[in-house]
Amino acid sequence: MVRVRFQRPDGSEAACDVPAGLSLMEAALNNGVDEIIADCGGALSCATCHVYVDDGWMDRTGAPSEIEEEMLEFAVDRRPNSRLSCQIKLGEGLDGLSVALPQRQQ
């Protein structure tokens, strides 16, 4: 299992343990993290699964692909640590991953 933590804009946290192999977006949807909308279901065509990866995790999540970079242009309030959560696959190396949720997705 992989533990992930979602920091909400109001300061609260949603933590969940999910099987390795899921995407971060699937982890959110399966655990009632409503701030992740994921309109396209992970097809990399909506940017409504936007998250901010905590600084200490940026190396381990890796850099966005070229296509993800293009889609991030549509994310609201994009920052240098922005990622689309459908593109982050949760392996054991990401156990403990912490991300912040944006104020809004669209």
Q: Give me the residues that bind ligand FES (CB under 6 A), please.
A: 25, 38-40, 42, 44-49, 71, 84, 86
Residue the block writes with tokens 């070229």? 66
- Token pair for 66: 């070229």
Q: Could you tell me the smallest distance in angstroms from the CB atom of residue 4 to ligand FES?
A: 16
Give the nearer residue to ligand FES in terms of CB position, either 84 or 101.
Answer: 84
Q: Could you tell me the smallest distance in angstroms from the CB atom of residue 84 to ligand FES?
A: 4
Q: Could you tell me the smallest distance in angstroms from the CB atom of residue 14 to ligand FES?
A: 18
H/E stretch holding 100: strand 97-100
Q: Which residue is nearest to ligand FES (CB)?
A: 86
Give the nearer residue to ligand FES in terms of CB position, either 48 or 61.
Answer: 48
CB proximity list for 11: less than 8 A, separation 6 or greater: none
Cα–Cα distance list, 27 to 12, 20, 48, 88 (Å): 17, 10, 15, 10
